[in-house]
Every structure is written in structure tokens, then in C-alpha cells.
Amino acid sequence: MHRRRFCVANWKMNFNSSDTKSFLENWGKKDLNNKEVKTIFCPSFTELNTTAELLHNSDSELGAQNVYYESNGAYTGEISCRMLKDLGCNWVIIGHSERRAIFGETDEMVCHKLDKLTSENMYPIVCIGETKDERENGKTEEVLSRQLLVAFENQKGKNIEHTVIAYEPVWAIGTGITATIDMISEAHQCIRNIFNTNGFNGNEISILYGGSVTNENAAELSNITDVDGFLVGGASLDVEKFYAIYNQL
Ligand code: 13P
């Protein structure tokens, strides 16, 4: 898989079953003729089944917002790769900043999850990004480098072409403050360089931007050379807004 364009909805802890049905029934009526763009919906675990049924026969795909790295056992509240695959869910977001900040997900855990997903031939969406403090202290590159190199430690020499990176500056998530074009461009180039200088082919990896993407800024952001698509939170809860974003990719 070479670099592709993605429009990924991270619904976070929002939709219940009737919300999911109403969104996807409307989505199904849209003219989804932009075949260059892969659309992925990531609902809560409880809505994976409904989403899978509603996406059946569509070009959109199913993703989860998290997974645990053990195969099975006494891990109350966790979900395995096998359970996701059973539902036709092949994409999984890992290392989201909310998982890191609120639930203590470490770089090492992201590494275990990445190892597990790749060994199961699933497709990880690995989220990385700096906090406001880290950016203000000139640490952005150092943070991105650490997050990537720890996560990909065991992937050297392996085929990572199905892995997608999402650059989501923590301070831009859910705040309405989008990173500037220069910041995004610089960060995406930096990510490609980190891969290229560490034994991977950074030019083949799709890198998405996430953080206050809306129907209003999507056109401008999608023109940035190194941006291969978006990971959308808030605006993905509104069919019209998400469709407008899809159309601008
Ligand atoms: P918002 O689009 O709401 O800023 O969220 C971004 C995000 O966290 C997607 O994973």
C-alpha cells in the first residue's frame, strides 16, 4: 500500500445505537464518489456491530478506538484483536492522546499494541503529538521522535505499509485551535525524516492530521503536501460537516 488519502471519523465516547443508525443511514445517501479517499468510522466498542452492519456493501471501513495487546485472558474491560476481527474491524486507533493523558497509555504500551496489530495483519492508526508545553519549550521534534521510535522499535525490517500515522498536537484537539499550515507541514516532514533516518521508508507512510479539523479549514489543510488525510473528532459527529471534509480531500 502506497500513500493514500484517508478521512477517519473518531466518534470517541459519543454515539449510541440510534445516533449511529441515523448518522450512517444519512451517510449512505451521500454521493461517495471520491474513490481516492478511504473513509473509516471508529465508533465505541458497543457500536462496532451496528456500524459493521450499516457499512456492509459500502466502501467505508470499520475501525476501533483502542485494543489490548494480549490475545485473551483475565483483562477485565479490555478487547482483543480477535474480537475486533470477528466484527470485520481491521483498523485500530492506538496511542490517542486521550488514552495517553487520561488512561495512562505509555509509549511502551503503544509499542505492544502495534506489535500485536501487525502480527494479526490488522491496520494500526498510530497517534502521536506534542502538548502545548512541549511545543513552547521547543521539544516537538524530540517528542515525536521518542513516540515513534519507541512504538516502532520492533518493526524494523518489517513491512509497515499498512500502518498509518496521525499527527495530533494535543493542544489542537477539541479546542478549536488548529495548528498553522507551517506547523503541520514541518511536523509531517519531521515524521517522514524520523522514519527515513531509522530504517523505514517514510515516503510510503500515510500521515494524517488531527486537531480541530472542520468543514471550514479542511480545504486549506488538505493542500499541505505532506498531509494524507484527517483524523476528525468533533466534526465527524455531524454528517454534513464530515461529508464536506471528505469532499475536500
Ligand atoms: P477534534 O477534531 O474534536 O479536535 O478531535 C481530534 C481527535 O482527537 C481525533 O482523534
* Tens digit of pLDDT at every position of the chain (249 positions): 578 999 999 999 999 999 999 999 999 999 988 789 999 999 999 999 999 999 998 999 999 999 999 999 999 999 999 999 999 999 999 999 999 999 999 999 999 999 999 999 999 999 999 999 999 999 999 999 999 999 999 999 888 888 999 999 999 999 999 999 999 999 999 999 999 999 999 999 999 999 999 999 999 999 999 999 999 999 999 999 999 999 999
Residues with a catalytic annotation lie at 96, 168
Q: Which CATH number fits domain 5-246: 3.40.50.1970, 3.40.640.10, 3.30.499.10, 3.20.20.70?
A: 3.20.20.70
Task: Find where cell 494479526 sits.
Answer: 120
Ligand 1 pocket: which of 66, 212, 236, 245 to mutate (most atoms <8 Å of CB)? 212
Strand 229-232 versus strand 123-128 pairing type: unpaired
Q: Does the beta carbon of 232 lie inside 6 Å of ligand 1?
A: yes
Nearest CA to ligand 1 atom 9: 233
Q: What are the residue ranges spanned by the domains of the chain?
A: 5-246
Measure Cα distances from 209 to 199, 232, 237 in Å.
23, 9, 17
Q: Are 92 and 63 in contact (CB under 8 A)?
A: yes
CB of 212 within 6 A of ligand 1: the answer is yes
13: cell is: 465516547
